[in-house]
Structure 1
Amino acid sequence: MDAHAELVDLAEKYWDTVLEAAPGAATLLGDRRFDDRIEDLSEAAEQRLTGVYQGLLQRVSALDAAALTDRDRITRALLIQELASAVDQLEWRPVEMACDQMDGVHAATLTLAPQTNAPAPENARALVRRFRQFDTLFAQAAERFRAGLAAGRAPARVVVERSLNQLDGYLASDPADDPFVTFPGPADWDGESAWRATLSEVASEVIRPALREYRTALAEELLPAARPDDKAGLCWLGSDGEDIYRRLLRRHTTLDDLGAEEIHALGLAELERLREEYARVGGALFGLRDQAEIFERLRADPALRYRDGAEILADARAALADADAAMPDWFGRLPEESCAIVPVPEFLAADVAGAYYFPPAADGSRPGTYFVNLYDPSDQPRYQTRAIAYHEAIPGHHLQLTIANELTGVPRFQRQSFANTAFVEGWALYTERLADEMGLYPDDLARIGMLAADSFRSARLVVDTGLHARGWSRQRAIDFMVAHVPVGRTELETEVDRYIAIPGQAVGYKVGQLEIARQRARVAERLGERFDIKTFHDTVLGSGSVSLPVLRELAGTL
C-alpha cells in the first residue's frame, strides 16, 4: 500500500472509530449505521478507545511525509493532532465530570433530541432500540460521577443546579410534545402511527424514568458534595484540576505553548483596545465616550430591548438575508445547503447560550440549523442580533461547516470533525468583524453590538483563566463580566456558568480569531496588490476544520 492509500485508510479507520464510539453524533451527521446503539460510558470502553487511538497515532506518525502530496501532508498533520488530542483528553477520564448543563450526558442527549430524524423505516425502528437503552446510559453516567467523587472530583455546585433545572424542565414537559416522540419520521410510511405509539411508550417507561433516576443521583449525591461558588474553578481540585485545565486549553486552542497566564494577559489587552472603539462608536451614537456610561445606556434603555420572541426571529432572518446577498463579493466558494432558523427548545432555553448552530447531516436528511434563544426577550438587546446571526450562520458557522461538509477529495474527518474549537469558533468570531467590512451593520447601534460580542470573547479569556487557574469566585467572574461586557446580568451569569461547566472551550474563540486575522494581514502584506480576499477565504476554508498550526501552513501557501 502506498503512503497516500495508507493515510486514507487510517483516516477512515479513525473516523469510523469516532462515530462508533459516539452513535448519537453519527446520527446527527447523517451516518445511520449506528442508529440502534448508544454510547458506552464505562471505564473499560474508555480504555479500549484510548488504545485504538494510540495505535492509530503510531501508524500515522510513522508515515513518510516526504512521500505525500501537499494536500496529504495537511491531512496527516490534522490526523496526528486529532488523535493526540483525543488520547490526551481520554486520559483524564472526562466522563467523571460530565454532569454539567452544557456538555453533560443529559444536556447532550436533550439538545440532540430535536435534531434527530428517521428518514427511512429501518432508521425509525433502530432509534427505538437506541432509546430503550437510555436506562443503561444514564445508570453508567451516574456510576462514573460516583467514581469522580471518590477520586476527589467534586463538580461545581452551580452546574449541578443548572442541570437539575434542565432535567426538571424536560420531566415537567407535556409527554405529547416529547422531543423523543415528535421528531420527523419517514415520509408516507404506513407504519408511522404504530411507531409513534411505541416511541410514546418508550419515552414513558424508559426515557423519563431513566432521567428521573439520573436526576436523583445529581440531587442526592453530587449536589451535597459539590464545590461552592467561591471555589468554582478546576484549580480548587488541586494538581488534578490543574492538569485537567492544561489539557483542556491544549484541546481548545490546538496549541501546546499557550498557557493560562498568557491567555489571561491577552484578554486584558484586548479589552483595553476595545475601550477606544467604544469611545468612537459611543460618541457618534450617544454622545458618550466613557465606557461605563455607554454600558449603562445600553443596559438601561428599554427601547434597546425586544418585546417578544417574534421580533428576535424577524431580525435574525433579515440579517441573514442581507448576508446572503453580499457573500459573492467575499467568497468564491459558497455552500449549497441553506440555513434553517428555529427557536431553542423551551426546556433548554434558560440554561444555554443565546444561540447555537448544528451543521447539516451529510446524507441531506437535515439542514444546517441556527437555533435562536427566545428566553426572556425583554433582557435581550436588539443591537446584538446581527453579530450573533453572522457568527452562528453566514458568514460564520453555517458557511464554514457546510463548506467543509461539501468538500470532495478529503477524508470524512476533515469534513465532519468537531475537534478544532479555535478554528471553528475563531472563524465565526472573525466573521463578526468581517461583516463590518462587508457593510452588513446598517448603523452604529448594530456596530456596537459587534463590539459587545468582541468584549464577550475578550473577557472570556480573563474570566475562564481567572476561574480555573487563579481561583476566582463565581461572583468575581460575574462582576468582571458586568464591568466589561454591555449586556444584561442574567445573560452574563449564564455565560459565567458556561465557563465553569466547560473549562477552556470559551478561550478558543478569541485565540482563533486573532490567528486568522494575523494570517490574513501577513498574506496581504506579502502579496500587496496581488492579495485577493476571496482566495484567502477559500484557502482557509478549503481543508475543513483545521488546527491553528495547520492554518499557518495553509496561509503560507498563498
Structure 2
Amino acid sequence: MTDADAAPAELRARAEEYWETRLEESPLLASFLGDHRYDDRADDLSAKADRRRRDRWATLREQVARIPADALDGADAVTRELLLGDLDDAVRQIDLRVVELSANQLQGAHARLLMIASQLRAPTPEHAEMAVRRVGQLADMLDQAAVRYRDGVAAGRPPARVNVARSLSQIDGYLAAPVEQDPFVQLPGPDDWAGTEAWRSRLADAVRDELRPAFARHREVFAGELEAAARPDDRPGLCHLPDGPALYQELIESYTGLPLTPEELHEFGLREAQRELPAQFATIGQRAFGTSAPTEIFDRLLNDPELRYPGRDAILEHARRCLAVSSAAMGDWFGQLPQAACELTPVPDYLAPAMPPAYYQPPAPDGSRPGQFMINLHEPDGRNRSGTAMVAFHEAIPGHHLQLAIAAERTDLPSFQRLAHRHTAFVEGWGLYAERLADEMGLYEGDIDRLGMLGADAWRACRLVVDTGLHAMGWTRQQAIDFMAGHAPIEPETIAVEVDRYIGMPGQALAYKVGQREILQLREQAKAALGARFDIKAFHDTVLGAATVSLPVLRARVTAWAAS
C-alpha cells in the first residue's frame, strides 16, 4: 500500500469501527436496520455503560484526528470531518447526561420500545429464539432508564409534568391491550416455519411474565417519583434547572450544528411568524377565501366544515394521491432516485394519541422493509384536510423518503454517513425545504393545499419562538400554546401535542427552520454564481449526494460544486 492509499484506508477502517461499535452499543438500532447479530440484546442505559462508551468514542476520536486531512480527497475529507463531529457529539451527549432528561413521550425508553416494536422481525428460527431471550433484556432496559431518571431528579433535573402525563398515557394504553395483541408478541417470524405456534406461545409467556411487569414498574416510577418532582406547567423549560441555560446552548449546537444563540433564533422566528408569512397568507387567502386577514384565513382552515375529512378512509385516500403524484414527478427534479419503495402506513393505535400527525421510518438497508410514511389517524372525524399534502411531501417524496433512501443506498460511503441520520438540521431542514419544493413541482392540488404549506412553515417558525421562549426565556406552557394558536392554523389538540414535544425535547424543533434557511440560501447563492448554467437536478444531487451531513459540510459541498 502506498502512502497515498494509507490515509484513506485508515479512515475507512476507523469509520467502519465506529459504525460497528454503534451497532454493538445499540442492539435495537442494529435490529431496526436489519442487522440481526444482536437480536437477543437490548440497549444498556446504565451509567456504567455510558462510561464505557465514552472511553471508546474518545479513543477512536484520537485515532481519527491523527489521520492527516491533506492526505484525503474530497469524499474522504468529508467523511473525516463528519466522523470527528459525530464522535464529538457522542461524547458531548454522554457528558451532558442527556439520558436523564429523556423521561418523555418521544425519547423515553418506554416510547422507544413501543415505537420500534412494529418495525422488528425474526427472519429465521435462530433469530426467533434470540427474540425470546431479548424480552428479559428489554425489561432490564426499562429498569435502567428508571434509575437514570431518578439520578436526574437527584441532580435537580426532573422532567416536566406534562411529559410525565403523556408517558403514563402511552404506558397505560400498552398495558390495557390484550397480551395476544401485544406488538412484541406479534413480532413477524420466519416464513412457513413449523415451530411458529410454539415459539409465539413462549414469546407471549416471556412478555407476560417479564416485559409487561417491567412496564408496570416503569409506570410506578413515572406516577410516583417523577410526577411528584416534575416541573409544573408554569415552569416547564430548562431555564428553571440549575444547569439549564448552559445545557440548552449545548443542545442548540448539537441539533443545528451551528453556534446560534437562543436570542437570535427567537428573533428569526418572530420575523417569519409575525411579518413575512402573514403577507404570503394574505395573497393566497385572498385568492382562496376572498380575505387577506390571517385570523379569518386561519378560522376558515380550522373550522370550515367543507374543509374537514369525513373519516379515516378520506385521509388515507388523499395521502395516497399525494404519494402517487410525487412519485411520478420526482424524476424531473432529481437525477439520483431511490430504489426502495415508500409505503403508506397508519400509526399504531396504542401510540397515536401522543404522536405527531405523521413521521417517517427509513427502509431497512437489507431491503427487508420499505420506507414507511406513518400517518396518524387518531380521532379522524373532522380532521383538517389542508395539512395532508404538505406532510406527505415532507415525510415521503420529495422529503425524507427520497433523502434517506438515497442515503441508505449510497453503499460506496461509510455506513455511519448512510444510516445514522444524526444531523437533525440537515434531515429536517430538507423535509421543510421539500414542502416548498413541492409547490414548484406542481404537486399541490390547489390553494387549500398551499395554505396548508404556509401553515406548516408558520408552524416551524413558531417553533423557533416557542422552543427558545420555553427553555431560555421562562415561558409557561400556556404562553407557548397561545403564541402558536395566534400565528399558525393548527388544531388546538395538535398544538398541545407539539408544545409538549418541545418541552420534552429541548432544541430539536429548532433544526427545521435553521436547515431550511441554509438550503434555500445555498440554492440562491448557487443560482447567482452559475446563472443560466444552474441545474436544479444537479443542485439536489449535490445536496443529497454525501448522504447525511452537517450544515457546514453541506455549505462546503455546494460552494465547491458551484465553483467547479
With the shorter chain as reference, the TM-score category is over 0.9
CA distance in 1, matches of 2:127, 2:535: 46
- Answer whether contact 1:117 1:365 (CA < 8 A) is retained: no
Matches within 5 A, 1:536-551: 536-551=539-554
Q: Which runs of 5+ in 1 are unaligned?
A: none
CA distance in 1, matches of 2:356, 2:319: 16
SS of equivalent residue, structure 2 residue 372 = strand
CA distance in 1, matches of 2:203, 2:141: 18
Matches within 5 A, 1:155-554: 155-238=159-242, 240-255=243-258, 257-271=259-273, 272-378=275-381, 380-554=383-557
CA distance in 2, matches of 1:134, 1:5: 37
- Answer whether contact 2:305 2:382 (CA < 8 A) is retained: no
- Answer whether contact 1:89 1:247 (CA < 8 A) is retained: no
Moved more, 299-308 or 445-454: 299-308
CA distance in 1, matches of 2:67, 2:325: 47
Counterpart amino acid of 1:184? P
Moved more, 296-305 or 487-496: 296-305
- Answer whether contact 2:311 2:382 (CA < 8 A) is retained: no
- Answer whether contact 2:135 2:211 (CA < 8 A) is retained: yes
SS of equivalent residue, structure 1 residue 342 = strand
1:142 corresponds to which of 146, 150, 166: 146
SS of equivalent residue, structure 2 residue 185 = helix
CA distance in 2, matches of 1:125, 1:510: 45
Q: Which runs of 5+ in 2 are unaligned?
A: none
Identity %: 52
Q: Deviations 1:187-232 (Å, cap 9, x if unpaired)?
A: 1111111111111111111111110010001101100110100000
Cα deviation for residue 125 of structure 1 reads 1.4
Cα deviation for residue 171 of structure 1 reads 0.4
Cα deviation for residue 363 of structure 1 reads 1.3
Cα deviation for residue 97 of structure 1 reads 2.0
Cα deviation for residue 174 of structure 1 reads 2.1
| 1:106 maps to 2:110 | yes
Q: What is the match of residue 93 of structure 2?
A: 89
Cα deviation for residue 450 of structure 1 reads 0.4
- Answer whether contact 1:252 1:422 (CA < 8 A) is retained: yes
Q: Deviations 1:323-365 (Å, cap 9, x if unpaired)?
A: 0111110001000010111111111111111111110111111
Cα deviation for residue 16 of structure 1 reads 1.2
Q: Point out 4+ residue stretches in structure 1 off by more than 4 angstroms.
A: none
| 1:65 maps to 2:51 | no
Moved more, 455-464 or 192-201: 192-201
Counterpart amino acid of 1:199? L
- Answer whether contact 2:429 2:511 (CA < 8 A) is retained: yes
CA distance in 2, matches of 1:33, 1:134: 16
Cα deviation for residue 379 of structure 1 reads 5.0
Q: Deviations 1:489-509 (Å, cap 9, x if unpaired)?
A: 011010000000111111101
SS of equivalent residue, structure 1 residue 369 = strand
Cα deviation for residue 183 of structure 1 reads 2.4
SS of equivalent residue, structure 2 residue 62 = helix
CA distance in 2, matches of 1:408, 1:204: 41
1:43 corresponds to which of 42, 47, 65: 47
Q: What is the match of residue 76 of structure 1?
A: 80
Cα deviation for residue 18 of structure 1 reads 1.2
1:154 corresponds to which of 152, 158, 161: 158
CA distance in 1, matches of 2:499, 2:558: 34
CA distance in 2, matches of 1:42, 1:183: 27
Cα deviation for residue 25 of structure 1 reads 1.0
Length-normalised TM-score, structure 2: 0.97
Cα deviation for residue 418 of structure 1 reads 2.1
Counterpart amino acid of 2:349? E
CA distance in 1, matches of 2:360, 2:132: 26
Counterpart amino acid of 1:206? E
SS of equivalent residue, structure 1 residue 132 = helix
1:129 corresponds to which of 127, 133, 137: 133
Cα deviation for residue 428 of structure 1 reads 0.7
Two-structure CA RMSD over aligned residues (Å): 1.0
Cα deviation for residue 430 of structure 1 reads 0.3
Q: What is the match of residue 21 of structure 2?
A: 17
Cα deviation for residue 307 of structure 1 reads 1.6
CA distance in 1, matches of 2:134, 2:249: 35
Cα deviation for residue 295 of structure 1 reads 0.9
CA distance in 1, matches of 2:297, 2:209: 54
Moved more, 291-300 or 2-11: 291-300
Cα deviation for residue 378 of structure 1 reads 3.1
